[in-house]
Amino acid sequence: MASTRQETVVVDGLALAQDIRQDLAKAVERHVSTGRRAPCLAVVLVGDDPASASYIKGKRRACARIGMDSIERKLPATATEREVLDVVEELNASEGVDGILVQLPLPDGVRPNTIAEAIGPDKDIDGLTPINAGRLLLGEPGHRACTPLGIMKILEHHEIPIEGAHAVVIGRSAIVGKPISLLLQQANATVTMCHSRTKQLAAVCRNADILVAAVGVPRLVQPDWVKPGAAVIDVGVSIIDGEWVGDVDTEGVRGIARIVTPHRRGVGPMTITMLLCNTLDAYEAHFGA
Ligand code: NAD
């Protein structure tokens, strides 16, 4: 019997991100040309984790490239929770700041949820405050978490049907798994959310028209977990012997999936781009579109 091999599109998340960033740059230019200040993202870095410092650098560079301002508040690893809260409160009150991002992880003794709860919902461009998480749950407008938003843009760009599709999400974090499950459900997918205790995970995944892996287990998703023609979104990032590895055996699913995001130039560039989009949205909510 002749096997039918699916033409698999490997998503170019960087190219899509650059297209969106060009539009953002035009919007920023339009605002600035009217005499307004540029939108501004404030990033808070606590401690000296080199990966966090590099992420912050990437985010600030992305702002600069589209004409957006950014400021950085750096605190030592010994900073107390009160000191971090003071910085967040100062940024909440600042007229010159539209979006606030507190880079995770935070040092021991500084509780991420306490810090997230302190960010003003209008400046919560990561969509992590209970107010914005609640708005998402209720289907009300609000800032949405950046990685899930980026995934929705990728699916839209590749014209993946969502309504009526069976979407399987592996991972239930507050930053990816839960919000992407809700966004897919609101777009009328039938969603199954899986996690570390899910039984028969491979069998559940095999039913997915849209499969999102946000786990952090290298190459968890094997070719025989993927339904022919499925859209496969790989969010996971692990570093093995200095190499970046995703949650999906990308090479293996070629010829099976309709689209697959690579672990580099896939979801990552879209996440940063959605941070810029959310910052512009916060600015326009204040100054007008
Ligand atoms: P997390 O690390 O908080 O949690 C992982 C989730 O995976 C949990 O819900 C857990 O139940 C589930 N899980 C763990 N082992 C499992 C297994 N064997 N089978 C099924 N489920 C299992 O999740 P996170 O913060 O969403 O991060 C997930 C991955 O995505 C990480 O690798 C992270 O680095 C990456 N990430 C990438 C981006 C990006 O922009 N590319 C953004 C955020 C997170």
Distance 195 CA to ligand 1 centre (A): 9
Q: Are residues 152 and 251 in the same domain?
A: yes
Domain assignment of residue 71, yes or no:
yes
pLDDT at 3: 59
Average pLDDT of the residues in 88-110: 96
Distance 214 CA to ligand 1 centre (A): 4
Provide residues with CB under 6 Å of ligand 1: 147, 170-173, 175-177, 194-196, 198, 201, 214-217, 235-238, 267-268, 271
pLDDT at 13: 98
pLDDT at 156: 98
pLDDT band at 82 (very low <50, low <70, confident <90, very high): very high
Distance 216 CA to ligand 1 centre (A): 5
Domain assignment of residue 223, yes or no:
yes
pLDDT of 4 higher than 80: no
> pLDDT averaged over the chain?
96
pLDDT of 28 higher than 60: yes
pLDDT band at 225 (very low <50, low <70, confident <90, very high): very high
Q: Are residues 151 and 116 in the same domain?
A: no
Q: What is the CATH number for 103? A: 3.40.50.10860
Full residue range of the structural domain in which residue 223 is found = 145-268
pLDDT at 12: 98
Q: What is the pLDDT of residues 248-267, one digit of tens each?
A: 999 999 999 999 999 899 99
Distance 188 CA to ligand 1 centre (A): 24
**Of the candidates 103, 120, 137, which is a domain's last residue?**
120
Q: Ligand 1, atom 25: nearest CA belongs to which residue?
A: 173
pLDDT at 1: 46
Q: Are residues 66 and 161 in the same domain?
A: no
pLDDT band at 51 (very low <50, low <70, confident <90, very high): confident
Q: Ligand 1, atom 1: nearest CA belongs to which residue?
A: 173
**Using H for helix, E for strand and C for coil, what is the string for the chain?**
CCCCCCCCEECCHHHHHHHHHHHHHHHHHHHHHCCCCCCEEEEEEECCCHHHHHHHHHHHHHHHHCCCEEEEEEECCCCCHHHHHHHHHHHHHCCCCCEEEECCCCCCCCCHHHHHHHCCHHHCCCCCCHHHHHHHHHCCCCCCCHHHHHHHHHHHHCCCCCCCCEEEEECCCCCCHHHHHHHHHHCCCEEEEECCCCCCHHHHHCCCCEEEECCCCCCCECHHHCCCCCEEEECCCEEECCEEECCECHHHHCCCCCEECCCCCCHHHHHHHHHHHHHHHHHHHHHCC
pLDDT band at 289 (very low <50, low <70, confident <90, very high): confident
Q: Ligand 1, atom 34: nearest CA belongs to which residue?
A: 237
pLDDT at 162: 98
pLDDT at 203: 98
Q: List residues with catalytic annotation.
A: 59, 103, 126
Q: What is the CATH number for 175? A: 3.40.50.720
**Of the candidates 120, 155, 184, which is a domain's last residue?**
120
Domain assignment of residue 22, yes or no:
no
Domain assignment of residue 42, yes or no:
yes
Domain assignment of residue 112, yes or no:
yes
Q: What is the number of structural domains in the chain? A: 2
Q: What is the pLDDT of residues 163-219, one digit of tens each?
A: 999 999 999 999 999 999 999 999 999 999 999 999 999 999 999 999 999 999 999
Q: Which of 101, 175, 235, 240 has most ligand 1 atoms within 8 Å of its beta carbon, as the pocket-test mutant? A: 235
